[in-house]
């Protein structure tokens, strides 16, 4: 891989749940969910023992409890997760300054040029995983390739506590066999749309020309055309720009009255949202309100405001 970049994607294994099992030995080897309870709420993370029963993150906790009657629910402790994430981040930075965090539990590293002059990205990934285990007691998986997209896919191939390499020579053959929904930038809606054209795997996508893809999928057509051929030029960006910021809350009891909903927005959610804006020195132009009903249907409404940011004052705009 001498003429290619060397990219590593490190992904912690069931991070939130693993931290809880680490700090509470009585939870070890038991099905555990972080977030929610047996009556209501949403699962933020699930241990591998819980995943065997079909429990997944973003699943309603009530459904999770039905799938796994012995499921243990614990409240999230984000400060603890951040604390461990900072330890992991220091390990990354000891190898390269080109670290792009995606969340508390995963990041891209460009180790083409690294602080130790090591030639093998595979060995670097192995060292990093070992150091994470030694310093935190947690397992991590890693993917290695010549671009971010392939590295991220590779990190999922040998989970948990493993790593995989996708070389330039093997990339296209690998991508031809990859289900279309696994491709970067293709969600459930787009995958369904592609299925309508008989596109289910990378091989199917590869049969379509660039003009066809751009005529059907607009600007994304070029992205799809390139990515199925292993072309993804996005660089590892240490100072990744935050594109959104929000706050949400799952209530113990349903909010019914309009006055109750408005009071909660004004007195609880909006102040917390404003604190996060200040803490991140951020501002935005589009506001989105998301409401999830007790049957788990989701409604969103957005509005773009044209305001002068330097003169924006919370007290004047919070209505």
Q: Which residues are catalytic?
A: 106
Residues 254 and 127: their CA atoms lie apart, in Å, by 49
> Residue 46's beta-bridge partner residues?
33
156 is in an annotated binding site: no
> Residue 300's beta-bridge partner residues?
290
Q: Taking the C-alpha atoms of 206, 210, 211 and 217 in order, what is their torsion angle to the nearest 10 degrees?
A: 80
Contact between residue 168 and residue 230 where contact means Cβ atoms under 8 Å apart: yes
End-to-end CA distance of the chain: 56
In the 3-class helix/strand/coil scheme, how is the chain assigned residue by residue?
A: CCCCCCEEEEEECCHHHHHHHHHCHHHCCCCEEECCCCCCCECCEECHHHHCCCCCCCCEHHHHHHHCCCCEEECCCHHHHHHHHHHHHHHHHCCCCCEEEEECCEEEEECCCCCCCCCCHHHHHHHHHHHHHHHHCCCEEEEEECCHHHHHHHCCCCCCCCEEECCHHHHHHHHHCCEHHHCCCCCHHHHHHHHCCCCCEHHHHHCCCHHHHHHHHCCHHHHHHHHCCCCCCCCCCCCCCCCCCCCCCCCCCCCCCHHHHHHHHHHHHHHHHHHHHHHCCCCCCEEEEEEECCCCCEEEEEEECCCCHHHCCHHHHCC
11 is in an annotated binding site: yes
Among candidates 43, 89, 92, which has minimal Cα distance to 66? 43
Q: Which residues are annotated as a binding site?
A: 11, 105
Binding-site residue set for Mg(2+): 11, 105
């Amino acid at each position: 891989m001498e003429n290619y970049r060397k990219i590593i994607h490190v992904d912690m294994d069931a991070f939130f749940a693993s931290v809880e099992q680490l700090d509470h030995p009585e939870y070890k080897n038991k099905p555990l969910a972080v977030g929610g309870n047996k009556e209501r709420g949403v699962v933020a993370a699930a241990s591998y023992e819980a995943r065997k029963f079909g429990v997944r993150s973003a699943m309603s906790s009530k459904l999770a409890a039905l799938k796994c009657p012995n499921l243990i629910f614990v409240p999230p402790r984000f400060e603890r997760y951040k604390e461990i994430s900072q330890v992991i981040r220091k390990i990354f930075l000891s190898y390269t300054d080109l670290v792009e965090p995606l969340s508390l539990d995963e990041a891209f590293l460009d180790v083409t040029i690294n602080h130790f002059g090591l030639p093998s990205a595979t060995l670097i990934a192995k060292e990093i995983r070992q150091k994470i285990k030694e310093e935190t007691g947690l397992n991590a998986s890693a993917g290695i390739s010549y671009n971010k997209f392939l590295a991220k896919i590779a990190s999922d191939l040998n989970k948990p506590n493993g790593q995989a390499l996708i070389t330039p020579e093997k990339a296209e053959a690998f991508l031809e066999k990859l289900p279309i929904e696994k491709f970067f930038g293709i969600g459930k809606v787009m995958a369904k749309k592609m299925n309508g054209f008989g596109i289910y795997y990378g091989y199917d996508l590869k049969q379509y020309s660039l003009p066809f893809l751009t005529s059907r999928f607009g600007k994304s057509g070029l992205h799809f055309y390139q990515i199925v051929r292993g072309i993804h030029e996005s660089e590892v960006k240490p100072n990744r720009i935050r594109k959104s910021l929000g706050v949400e809350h799952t209530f113990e009891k349903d909010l019914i009255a309009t006055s109750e909903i408005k009071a909660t927005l004004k007195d609880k959610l909006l102040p917390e949202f404003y604190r996060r804006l200040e803490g991140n020195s951020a501002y935005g132009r589009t506001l989105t309100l998301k409401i999830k009903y007790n049957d788990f249907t989701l409604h969103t409404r957005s509005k773009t405001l044209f305001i002068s940011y330097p003169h924006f004052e919370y007290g004047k705009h919070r209505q």
